[in-house]
Amino acid sequence: MTSSLRSNQAVLLAAAAFALLLGGLALAFYWVPQAPLEGFRQRIFYIHVPVALTAYACFGWGAWKALRLLWKRDRRYDLESYTAVHIGVIFGILTLVTGSIWARTSWGVWWSWGERQLVLFLVLFLFYCAYFMLRYSVEPGPRRAQMSAVYALFGVVLIPISFLAIRLAENFIHPVVFSRDVDENLTGSQAATFGVCLAGTLALAAALHVNELRGKRLDERLRELREALA
Amino acid sequence: MTAPAFPGLSYARDVAALARKDLLLELRSRDTLPAMLLFVVSTLVIFHFALPAGSSDVAAAGLLWVALVFTALLGLTRAFVAEREQRLLDGLVLAPCDRSAIWLAKALSIVAFLLLAEAVALPAFALFFDPVTAPMVAGIILADLGIAAVGTLLAAMAVASRARELLLPLLFLPLAIPIIVGGVGASVADDPGRYLGFLGLYDAVFAILSWATFEYVVTE
């Protein structure tokens, strides 16, 4: 890909993200009918859940790139994996914040151990923060790339195992006082709004990913050139 | 050396040789295991003072698992120290054995250390708090396998970093959460079978993953 095509891709993704998110938020706040039981506060669902799903997608993408790195032994994948995990953590923080706000408006508390998704994200957040600690305490090089890749793989395996653990733990940790009934099926308009918001957050993550990757590759190239000249 | 009858036999021989080396080293230097024993008993005593009056009996069972995980961390931090200080790890990696054999041997010796530490911790727990039940012991054995599998790989990562002892708890504790859930569940829940099954699943999944990826952690 020539650099102009690459920069076009970044601009297009950013424009798509802007349009989809703006449209999605407009749909969520003005078009979708009010949820009968929960009321206005339910609308945060259209932000919280797409952000959460996007975080999972970023972690999965990071793990896929990590697998490619270990498989092909091509160090190019290291930066791609790293930026994916980085953006995943950003969306993870957003998930925790929006989830906390939702809990506060629903039950008056900023945190509820009964919210399985929130607890899972807390565990993942701790795990991926350790990813950065690992990365920054090892000298840059093939060793660091491989170790980061192995750790990213452990992360995606941890996601389902942690979810199982959290479900099993509910039987014996202190009784769940607050939990949300999420078994309701989405109506047509709700599903459409959700779809647009989800597409928007995924596009935003992709735009951020492409942008950050370009910046980091430029940094890398600059460093190589400087070392070659020195 | 003559070629072995089965291809797996030379692998098993490598693992046995490396595990024997680790256990002999510990037998002669006697630094890690006594520290783990003392640590776990001291921690149990601290728990007595940390649990307020009116705490349920099951709270003590939960705290036992905290003690076990942190004792395991103590042992794991020391796992590759000898290899690092004597530059042994490079030599082991250059040896014509499968790198995953290094992982398996180290994990087996960690399991041995953990079992020995628990042989002291469980009677102490039974003395200070509650009797030890059979599902609890089964849970402890399964948890040891999982801790050793994941902990050995993470210890190899930590030893290659600048942060060393600081890094291993950060890497290990999020991965230890499912072990704690499985172990405490096996100790206190009405249907321990489900939790023991979950521990078995954790062990299988992470042992396979650690075995497959260890090579990439120790080589360039």
Asked if B30 reaches chain A (Cβ–Cβ under 8 Å), the answer is no
pLDDT value of residue B152: 94
Count of A-B CB contacts under 8 Å: 92
pLDDT digits (tens, 9 = 90+) for B139-185: 999 999 999 999 999 999 998 888 778 899 999 999 999 999 999 99
Average pLDDT, chain B: 87
- Residue A152 one-letter amino acid: A
Per-residue pLDDT, averaged over A21-47, amounts to 81
pLDDT digits (tens, 9 = 90+) for B48-74: 888 887 777 778 888 899 999 999 999
Q: Measured between CB atoms, which of B157, B177, B194 is closest to A134?
A: B157
- Residue B86 one-letter amino acid: Q
Q: How far apart are CA A131 and CA A141, in angstroms?
A: 16
Closest CA to A196 of A64, A78, A10, A31: A31
Asked if B169 reaches chain A (Cβ–Cβ under 8 Å), the answer is no
Closest CA to B181 of B138, B139, B122: B139
pLDDT value of residue A210: 93
Q: Measured between CB atoms, which of A147, A157, A165 is closest to B157?
A: A147
- Print the domain residue range for A35: 3-229
Q: With 0-12 CB in 10 A as exposed, 13-18 as middle and 19+ as buried, what is B7?
A: exposed
Burial B107-137 (b: 16+ CB within 10 A, else e): bbbbbbbbeebbeebbebbeeebeebeebbe
SS (H, E, C) chain A: CCHHHHHHHHHHHHHHHHHHHHHHHHHHHHHCCCECCCEHHHHHHHHHHHHHHHHHHHHHHHHHHHHHHHHHCCCHHHHHHHHHHHHHHHHHHHHHHHHHHHHHHHHCCCCCCCCHHHHHHHHHHHHHHHHHHHHHCCCCCHHHHHHHHHHHHHHHHHHHHHHHHHHHHCCCCCCCCCCCCCCCCCCHHHHHHHHHHHHHHHHHHHHHHHHHHHHHHHHHHHHHHHHHHC
Taking 80 as the threshold, does the pLDDT of residue A177 lie above it? no
Q: How far apart are CA B39 and CA B77, in angstroms?
A: 14
- Give residue A179's pLDDT band: very low, low, confident or very high (50, 70, 90): low
Interface of A with B (CB under 8 A): 70, 123-124, 126-127, 129-130, 133-134, 137-139, 141-143, 146-147, 149-151, 153-154, 157-158, 161-162, 164-166, 168-169, 171-172
pLDDT value of residue B9: 82
Phi first, then psi: what are they for A172, rounded to 5°? -125, -10
The pTM of the full predicted model, rounded to 2 decimals, is 0.89
Suggest the residue from A74, A113, A171, A174 to mutate for an interface test with chain B (most B CBs closer than 10 A). Answer: A171
- Give residue B2's pLDDT band: very low, low, confident or very high (50, 70, 90): low
- Give residue A5's pLDDT band: very low, low, confident or very high (50, 70, 90): low
Determine whether the interchain pair B174/A153 forms a contact, defined as Cβ–Cβ distance below 8 Å.
no
Determine whether the interchain pair A138/B160 forms a contact, defined as Cβ–Cβ distance below 8 Å.
yes
Determine whether the interchain pair A133/B173 forms a contact, defined as Cβ–Cβ distance below 8 Å.
no
Taking 70 as the threshold, does the pLDDT of residue B5 lie above it? no
What total of structural domains would you count in chain A?
Answer: 1
Residues of chain B positioned with their CB less than 8 A from the CB of A138: 160-162
Distance from CA of B171 to the nearest CA of A (A): 6
Residues of chain B positioned with their CB less than 8 A from the CB of A170: none
Determine whether the interchain pair B153/A150 forms a contact, defined as Cβ–Cβ distance below 8 Å.
yes
What is the predicted ipTM? 0.88
A44 neighbors A98 (Cβ within 8 angstroms): yes
Question: In the beta sheet, which residues pair with residue A39?
Answer: A35
Taking 60 as the threshold, does the pLDDT of residue B201 lie above it? yes
pLDDT value of residue B91: 76
Distance from CA of B158 to the nearest CA of A (A): 8
pLDDT digits (tens, 9 = 90+) for A201-211: 999 999 999 99
Distance from CA of A116 to the nearest CA of B (A): 14
Closest CA to A63 of A143, A128, A126: A128
Asked if B60 reaches chain A (Cβ–Cβ under 8 Å), the answer is no
Radius of gyration, alpha carbons of chain B: 18
Taking 70 as the threshold, does the pLDDT of residue A1 lie above it? no
